[in-house]
Amino acid sequence: MSALQPFPVPLPAGVKFPVKTFAKRQRAVVMAQRYVLITGCGEGGIGEALAREYQKKACTVITTVLPWESKDHLISAGIQCYELDVTDDASVQALERIVDKVTEGRLHVLVNNAGICYTMTGIDTDVQEVQKMFNVNVFGPMRMVHHFHPMLIKARGTIVNIGSVGGIVPYMYGSSYNATKAALAHWANTLRVEMAPLGVKVTTIISGNIGTNILKSDTARTLPEGSFYAPLAREFQEHVQRVPDTTPRAVYASHVVPQTLKANPPAWYWVGATTGIVRFMDIFGFRTVWDYILWPVFNLGKLRQETEVWRRGNE
């Protein structure tokens, strides 16, 4: 017996099956599937909040954590998570292969969020610590863009770099961290121009004080013995253990995500506590305007007096 053949059901006269319309709708469904990759999504950080917000926007979110960090907070929310060390090319390349397979070669949003902090006076800085921080905060995004740009170009995607007001304000004890964020902002702004002909957008988020745990590794930091800043040792301890007024992570993410999904996202997007005054001062203030604000806040007059006493004793 021959195999059964489908029974041909004739369409009414003058009626045609809308093959082209159906195909267009199918393509639209595929195109509407947006893939987002976010680095640095450890529990309690900005990355986790962004992942949850992108998920609300019906994006397929791919997140990363460090090899020794837990994935439970993301897996339990139905978010894909993989291990990544942005300072290691082999680790980035391994993730690239995974993401290429998951997304079929199209990445719509890359969020360079992974970052670390180092709090210390400029003259007491441990350069090795700063090199480690630059490797994460600056060279990490560079590695990600280097390896993932073909997927972004194919999807006409967007690169999102999580910056900070620290790259704008000469905030005390943050010279090294501020340098990483200033470098990131200016690298990203140039990248924005370079990627435009390739159809890729680049936006930098200038973040204010956000309620994250980035400072957790710095709370026990102390000034080194013999530091010229020893007269401010108590103030320094209070600074690293401070709990500043912050914008909640979820609120921050709810502002950031819609901006990054726009067809033409802003070059810089300011969001979070203190960004209003910082932006105003940066536009309208003179370069040393922050000196008048930071001197009393950090008790720098006391340090000047103690330094004068030391200088007279060593003439």
For the chain, how many residues are written?
315
Q: Are 175 and 195 in contact (CB under 8 A)?
A: no
Q: Is residue 262 part of a domain?
A: yes
Q: Is residue 22 part of a domain?
A: no
Does the annotation mark 177 as catalytic? Answer: yes
Query: Which amino acid appears at position 167 of this protein?
Result: G
Q: Is residue 5 part of a domain?
A: no
Helix 175-195 / helix 127-137 crossing angle, nearest 10 deg: 30
Average pLDDT, stretch 15-22? 53
Q: Is residue 179 part of a domain?
A: yes
Q: Is residue 103 part of a domain?
A: yes
| 217/119 Cα distance (integer angstroms) | 10
Q: Which of 177, 229, 252, 269 is labelled catalytic? A: 177
pLDDT digits (tens, 9 = 90+) for 96-124: 999 999 999 999 999 999 999 999 999 99
User: How many domains are contained in the chain?
Assistant: 1
Classify residue 264 as exposed, middle or buried by CB count within 10 Å of its CB (0-12, 13-18, 19+).
Answer: exposed
What is the model's pTM? 0.88
Q: Is residue 178 part of a domain?
A: yes
According to the model, what pLDDT value does residue 17 have? Answer: 52
According to the model, what pLDDT value does residue 225 have? Answer: 94
Q: Is residue 145 part of a domain?
A: yes
Helix then strand count (H, E) for the chain reads 12, 7
pLDDT digits (tens, 9 = 90+) for 65-93: 999 999 999 999 999 999 999 999 999 99
pLDDT digits (tens, 9 = 90+) for 258-305: 999 999 999 999 999 999 999 999 999 999 999 999 999 999 999 999
CATH code of the domain covering residue 123: 3.40.50.720
According to the model, what pLDDT value does residue 30 have? Answer: 44
Q: Are 161 and 204 in contact (CB under 8 A)?
A: yes
Q: Which of 181, 201, 252, 269 is labelled catalytic? A: 181
Does the annotation mark 54 as catalytic? Answer: no
Average pLDDT, stretch 204-221? 81
- For 5, phi then psi, to 5°, come to -105, 145
Is the model's pLDDT at 2 over the cut of 60?
no
Q: Is residue 23 part of a domain?
A: no
Provide the domain limits for residue 247. 33-313
Is the model's pLDDT at 4 over the cut of 90?
no
